Amino acid sequence: MLLDCAIVGGGPAGLNAALVLGRARRQVILFDSNQPRNAVTRHSHGFITRDGVKPGEFRSYAQQDIRRYPSVQIHNDTEVVSVERMGHTFRLATRTGERFDARTILLAAGLREVLPEVRGIHDCYGKSLFSCPYCDGWELRDKPLVVIAEGPNLFHSARIIWNWSRDLILCSNGNRVLNPQQLHLLNSKGIRVMEQRIARLEGNNGLLERVVFEGGSSIARSGGFVSPQWYQAAPFGAQLGCLTNSLNGFVTDSFGRTNVRGVYAAGDTSVVAPSQLIIAAAEGSRAAIGINTDLSEEAFL
């Protein structure tokens, strides 16, 4: 059977797109490899009616909603390994050897993060160190925090996170990324900047207690934020020729269309930042409307 849409990625963008397309009576298949970027997260915030929900519970609730619509197939723990263009359709193959054909494809596999190379950072990530202040800033409010970023976004991050805590130190991990004007402004706000390399992060059970620098100096901290580098979790968009923006997200119009006909993208795959559950879900809805609109118009050509 030729499907209307194949969705690669079972996060909030892919799930919400499946819901909207199911309600539009489209034949849809959703592939979820169950390797989400927020796997380290205990609770997700900022989604009305679901503030503080556990990521696994959110996925379960969403799939329960989608299963009300018989035209949507959900393939959990299923990894897509290839996507080929076959004329005006797409052929997807899974690791188990199954093949599916679809008229359109929605890329919603999200991103992979690469954290700075700091000893102990993976132990703390998702427990006391986070990437998004809008998701986790409230829980860290008024605590002594560290912001670790090795690029020019350190200054921007500091200005945003200062809203949650005035006790900040910024660590560039050996990189000079701030100009004299930025340093002066940060110092005037009582924000300390540490440019030496970090030797390690110390704590217990992932709860940060101290940042130790090369040379032996250290400073007590209770948590903080880190700026990772982001890369596409799946290679298919690049293989199909989709253009990317400066943050490695796929360039789309307001309805999720990439520059490649029949290929759409939503969620962190395209938006990248800000990265929130509710934004990704909304992007999935808009992409689904774009897909349904395009398919409907093709039927009248």
User: 148 — phi, psi (to 5°)?
Assistant: -110, 120
Q: Write down the CATH number for the domain with range 116-226.
A: 3.50.50.60
Asked whether the whole model's pTM tops 0.85, one would answer yes
**pLDDT confidence bin for 50, thresholds 50/70/90:** confident
Across all residues in the chain, what is the average pLDDT? Answer: 94
Lowest mean pLDDT across 39-53, 107-121, 154-168, 240-254: 39-53
* HSE toward the beta carbon, residue 110, CA cutoff 13 A: 25
272 CB-near residues (< 8 Å, 6+ apart):
111, 230, 245, 247, 248, 249
Query: Any idea what DSSP says for residue 197?
Result: P
The string of pLDDT tens digits covering residues 238-251 is 999 999 988 889 99
State which amino acid sits at residue 200.
R
Quick one: what percent of the chain has pLDDT higher than 90?
A: 83
Mean pLDDT to the nearest integer, 41-47: 82
- Residue ranges of domains in the chain: 2-112+229-298, 116-226
Task: Using CB atoms within 10 Å of the CB of residue 195, give its burial: 0 to 12 exposed, 13 to 18 middle, 19+ buried.
Answer: middle
Select the more confidently predicted residue: 47 or 63: 63
Tracing tokens 């090795």 back to the chain, one arrives at 150
* HSE toward the beta carbon, residue 276, CA cutoff 13 A: 17
Q: Please report the pLDDT score of residue 38 as a whole number.
A: 59
DSSP 60-102: HHHHHHHTTSTTEEEEET--EEEEEEETTEEEEEETTS-EEEE
pLDDT value at 279 more than 80: yes
Lowest mean pLDDT across 27-41, 109-123, 191-205, 223-237: 27-41
Asked whether this chain's domains 2-112+229-298 and 116-226 adopt the same fold, the reply is yes
Q: Please report the pLDDT score of residue 287 as a whole number.
A: 98
Q: Compute the distance between CA of residue 7 and CA of residue 105 in angstroms, rounded to an integer.
A: 6
The string of pLDDT tens digits covering residues 149-166 is 998 889 999 999 999 999
pLDDT value at 43 more than 90: no
So what's the architecture of 2-112+229-298 in CATH?
3-Layer(bba) Sandwich (3.50)
Q: Please report the pLDDT score of residue 152 as a whole number.
A: 87
